[in-house]
Amino acid sequence: RLTKPLSFADCIGDELPYGWEQAYDPQVGVYYVDHINKVTQIEDPRAQWRGEQEVMLKEYLVVAKDALDARWEMFQVKQQRLALAQEEYQHLSNVWQDKSGSRTSLHSGSSASTKYDPDLLKAEIAETKERVSRLKRELENMTQELNYKEKGIETLREIDRKMAESQGGYKLDEAQAILSELKSIRKAISSGEKEKHDLMQSLAKLKDGFKREDARAQLQGSRGSLVNSNLSLSKPCLDAGSQTDITGVFSGGRAKLAEKVKLNLQYDEAKRRLANIQIELAKLEAEAWPGALEADRDRLLLLGEKEELLRELRYVNPRKRSREEATRLEAERHRLEEELQEARTANTDALTRRLQLQEKRNNLLRQLEDTTRLASYLHTQLKSLSASTLSVSSGSSRGSLASSRGSLSASSKGSLSSLSFTDIYGLPQSEPA
């Protein structure tokens, strides 16, 4: 090819992607250079990438197999529901045909002499027919979905077998097939990881921005304080009024300095809390693998299908059926009740653990949002406080300097105006005789 591949997934055969180079050293032997990250290593990066893909593929195959088994069991339960609904529809149709002339029925446990209600029977027939149609549509959709999933899992198994047997590179068509399947796998199982990565990246940018703004504000505050101190201490001789102004400025500055120190402590505490929450979220994401959520969802759907079948079995009236059918339905109902009880007992701990993890994750996300909002607010307060301190200090120093200059000029002018002519030139001397 004319261009180098951008990643290991795009490589064919023994190619290395863009940024990687194979080199040789007489003492070490063959080694590999990653020019992008500026690191060297002895291990073959292609073997490392292939090993990571094999591990990820095997983990996904286990979860996909569990989800497929649950889907097949759900399909079988839905088939049982369809067969039961069809039997019920056929039975009601036969009752309608047999009893439409005599106007009597054995409907709903009533005696043979009870008057027949045709409207109620019509409603039951229509409801059963609608349920049969709905179950047929659901079974058709599930059949297509199961066939598609089986083909996908079989393709992944073939890829896994080839990856385990192959020690070198792949052919072009094999590499393209592996690339397409692995891309679909990554897209299916990495939604939670992508969300976590984006969240961490945005928080890191926010944290860096906070640090830069805080450093800039502190630098401006320190420069302003230095300039103000130079302006305030440039004139050693000030009058009493200017000294009172400086005392007020210093007392106000101490109050603002104490408030700034307090805000800085709160801001540092908020940043530490943000870091701790990020660590807790990373641990939870590592425990709750995104691919396992699909298997849990399929198990819950299977339990729901079994509960629907049990409800429909309980709805069937044994008096409408023969003794053999009633006995068979009763045995099926007891068996289904036992299965549901065992499934609930077995899945209670796992589902409780999942729910606890999800609740803990939601709480951490809420804490992360609140702490981020608090850190943003504290950062804004620190910036405004630094700016106000700088402006007030510089203004007060300029006012004190102007007042001192005014007092000096006024006092000097007053002193000069109080001098008399004799104070300046002395008494006139008498002429000698």
What pLDDT shows up at residue 104?
A: 46
In a domain, 219, yes or no: no
Q: Which residue has the higher pLDDT, 85 or 109?
A: 85
What pLDDT shows up at residue 184?
A: 66
Q: What would the pLDDT profile of 41-73 be if each residue is shown by its tens digit? A: 888 888 888 888 888 888 888 888 888 888 888
Does the pLDDT value for residue 168 go beyond 70? no
Residues 319 and 287 in one domain: yes
What pLDDT shows up at residue 348?
A: 66
Does the pLDDT value for residue 108 go beyond 70? no
- Across 153-167, 205-219, 247-261, the highest mean pLDDT is recorded for 153-167
Q: What would the pLDDT profile of 258-282 be if each residue is shown by its tens digit? A: 888 888 888 888 888 888 888 888 7
What pLDDT shows up at residue 258?
A: 80
- Across 36-40, 190-194, 317-321, 422-426, the highest mean pLDDT is recorded for 36-40
Residues 35 and 71 in one domain: no
Tell me how many domains the chain contains. 3
Averaged over 189-198, what is the pLDDT?
Answer: 58
Q: Which residue has the higher pLDDT, 87 or 429?
A: 87
Q: Which residue has the higher pLDDT, 123 or 351?
A: 123
Residues 13 and 54 in one domain: no
Does the pLDDT value for residue 241 go beyond 60? no
Does the pLDDT value for residue 18 go beyond 80? yes
What is the pTM (predicted TM-score) of this model? 0.46
Does the pLDDT value for residue 97 go beyond 60? yes
- End residue of a domain, out of 43, 58, 77: 43
Q: What would the pLDDT profile of 171-193 be if each residue is shown by its tens digit? A: 556 566 666 666 666 665 555 55
Averaged over 6-32, what is the pLDDT?
Answer: 85
What pLDDT shows up at residue 432?
A: 44
In a domain, 417, yes or no: no
In a domain, 221, yes or no: no
Residues 329 and 367 in one domain: yes
In a domain, 400, yes or no: no
Residues 5 and 81 in one domain: no
Share of the chain above pLDDT 70, in %: 59
Q: Which residue has the higher pLDDT, 288 or 402?
A: 288
Residues 35 and 154 in one domain: no
In a domain, 8, yes or no: yes
Residues 51 and 28 in one domain: no
Residues 79 and 20 in one domain: no
Share of the chain above pLDDT 90, in %: 0
Q: Which residue has the higher pLDDT, 178 or 235?
A: 178
Does the pLDDT value for residue 384 go beyond 80? yes
Residues 93 and 164 in one domain: yes
Q: Which residue has the higher pLDDT, 223 or 308?
A: 308
Residues 1 and 70 in one domain: no
Residues 368 and 302 in one domain: yes
What pLDDT shows up at residue 161?
A: 80
Task: Indicate the average pLDDT of the chain.
Answer: 72
In a domain, 65, yes or no: yes
Q: Which residue has the higher pLDDT, 310 or 400?
A: 310
**Which domain, by its residues, includes 346?**
258-389
In a domain, 173, yes or no: no
Residues 7 and 73 in one domain: no
Does the pLDDT value for residue 420 go beyond 60? no
Token pair of 327, please? 């006995």
The CATH code of the domain that includes 2 is 2.20.70
In a domain, 420, yes or no: no
- Across 56-70, 137-151, 210-224, the highest mean pLDDT is recorded for 137-151
